Amino acid sequence: MAKIIIIEDEISIRNVLKNILIDENKNYIIDEASNGEEGVKKIFSNQYDLALCDIKMPKLDGLEVLKKSRKLEYHLPFIMISGHGDLDTAVECIKNGAYDYIGKPPDLNRLLTTIRNGLNNKNLNQENRILKKKVQQKYQMIGESKELKKIEEIIKKVSTTNSRVLITGENGTGKELVAHSIHEKSTRSKIPMIEVNCAAIPSELIESELFGHEKGSFTSANKQKKGKFEIANGGTIFLDEIGDMSLSAQAKVLRALQENKITRVGGEKEIDINVRVLAATNKNLEKEIQDEKFREDLYHRLSVIKIHVPALRERKKDIPILIDHFSNQICQEQGVKKKHIEQEAIKLLIEKNWSGNIRQLRNVIEQIDIERFSVNHVSSEKEFRDFLAEYNVDIIIADLILSRSKYIYQSMFLELLPRLKPQIKIIFVSRSAHLFSCLRAIHSKDAESMSALVCESWGYFITSGKTKYMTG
């Protein structure tokens, strides 16, 4: 249901425009303003889908109304209507963001067509903003640690330049996020960033992937193909895991960076390119150079600006923030209710040595939120035993709804304990009818086999052989 405002000082014209809109669609909600000043007040106090605005008006003319509307948080299509305008006026309106300009008296068919198109354009702009916001959120860097703040400061400075950037860090630390953040803040952001995982492409195909090939250049080359550098022309290319690139491909990348030219495999023609290169690796490239596995000249070309992304264990301050962020994100994506994690459990998560860094942490939170280890479906003792037999990981997160299955007994928990690795950290339990007997049995027999047992619904926490009551 579209909401349209008519800003016009002549009441007769307002009535005519209003009747035209109602005849076009009875579901239109029509609002009116008799001058520019009133129009601005209504625009900023209501949310409209379209504005029909006269240019020559008392107090505030239509062009001023149009300029002020650009401060709105949403895009409002303006159709400017005037009987006194000329070509210069129309151009000025379009320059200031008007959707279209129509002279008085307006042609009925053109007016209605313009209104329909303007409303469709508004919807498209809204969808684009939502999609852009989702993309920005996807690649948002989460945390408040000084290490992260330092990276954000470097990104802010380097994004306004065309300097090449080398991003280093362990697997799962967020090197890709840094690359996307640089690109999105740069003047090249209108063109999508082209990503290349150098480790995932076989060495015999990487040159074709990067630089393209001509038809017939090799057996399977049935047609001409553009390479990633050519596709990224005018934008940004991200070479992920560049430390795994073959030496022959490195030589061609070096030439592309030196001369801003590429040649397709099997071709002779040089193709001019204008590409910003971002690269990332989890390897120590200085050592790779010593081992003659990476070209020193390419390293110096790539590392104009170096950004090191610290491991999660080096920025533990961010872990609680990341837990909350991932939990909200996953629950929204999966359509499940967010799980509450006790502070004692968060402390244990902070203490863990996250070898898989942020990627591993997200997986753990996802296990909690979507109840990957839930046994609500268990209908027999055998199924439950089979389920327990799958536990062979360093962290177990379970939501065991014991009250819903008569086959789940404390003896089964005792049977579970010897199977668990010594380094197992956390088990979540909720709403258990047998909770208290289970806790006593586990505690008395083998509390040391687990560093912690958290009960989110009943508020019990066991660690190092001690029982502690928690609220919640």
Q: Is the pTM of this model over 0.75?
A: no
Q: What is the pLDDT of residue 136?
A: 60
Q: Give the Cα separation of 56 and 59 in Å (integer).
A: 10
The predicted-structure confidence for 30-77, as pLDDT tens digits, reads as follows: 999 989 889 999 999 888 889 999 888 888 888 888 888 888 877 788
**What average pLDDT does this structure show over 291-313?**
94
Does residue 464 have a pLDDT over 60? no
Distance, C-alpha 302 to centroid of its chain: 26
Classified as helix, coil or strand, 315 is: coil
Does residue 210 have a pLDDT over 90? yes
> HSE (CB half, 13 Å, CA atoms) of 450?
31
**What average pLDDT does this structure show over 315-343?**
82
**What average pLDDT does this structure show over 164-186?**
93
Amino acid residing at 235: G
Q: What is the pLDDT of residue 468?
A: 37
Average pLDDT score, the chain: 78
Alpha helix locations (H) across 54-107? 62-69, 87-95
Paired tokens of 122 = 């508004």
The predicted-structure confidence for 67-114, as pLDDT tens digits, reads as follows: 888 888 777 889 988 876 667 778 888 888 888 888 888 788 888 888
Q: What is the pLDDT of residue 392?
A: 42
Q: Give the Cα separation of 83 and 104 in Å (integer).
A: 4
Does residue 301 have a pLDDT over 80? yes
| 283: enclosing H helix or E strand | none
Q: What is the pLDDT of residue 419?
A: 54
Q: What is the pLDDT of residue 363?
A: 83
Q: What is the pLDDT of residue 312?
A: 93
The predicted-structure confidence for 128-155, as pLDDT tens digits, reads as follows: 666 666 666 666 788 899 999 999 999 9
Q: Give the Cα separation of 42 and 5 in Å (integer).
A: 9
Residues near 266 by beta carbon (within 8 Å), at least 6 away in sequence: 213, 214, 216, 217, 218, 221
Does residue 278 have a pLDDT over 90? yes
Q: What is the pLDDT of residue 401?
A: 37
Q: What is the pLDDT of residue 406?
A: 39
Does residue 372 have a pLDDT over 50? no
Residue in 5, 24, 21 with CA at minimum distance from that of residue 78: 5
Q: Give the Cα separation of 166 and 238 in Å (integer).
A: 10
| Residue 62 · residue 55 · CB < 8 Å | yes
Q: What is the pLDDT of residue 129?
A: 67
Q: What is the pLDDT of residue 69?
A: 87
Amino acid residing at 183: H
Paired tokens of 472 = 């919640």
pLDDT top residue among 145 and 460: 145
Q: What is the pLDDT of residue 348?
A: 74
Does residue 190 have a pLDDT over 50? yes
Q: What is the pLDDT of residue 135?
A: 60
User: pLDDT band at residue 374, thresholds of 50, 70 and 90?
Assistant: very low
Residue 128, classified by CB atoms within 10 Å of its CB into exposed (0-12), middle (13-18) or buried (19+), is: exposed
Catalogue all structural domains in the chain, each as residue range(s) with its CATH number. 3-135 (3.40.50.2300), 146-310 (3.40.50.300), 316-469 (1.10.8.60)
For the chain, give the number of residues.
Answer: 472
What is the percentage of the chain residues whose pLDDT exceeds 70?
Answer: 73
Pairing of strands 460-463, 453-455: antiparallel
User: What is the torsion angle, in degrees rounded to the nearest 10, for the CA atoms of residue 236, residue 240, residue 245 and residue 249?
Assistant: -10
**What average pLDDT does this structure show over 397-425?**
46
DSSP code, position 139: T
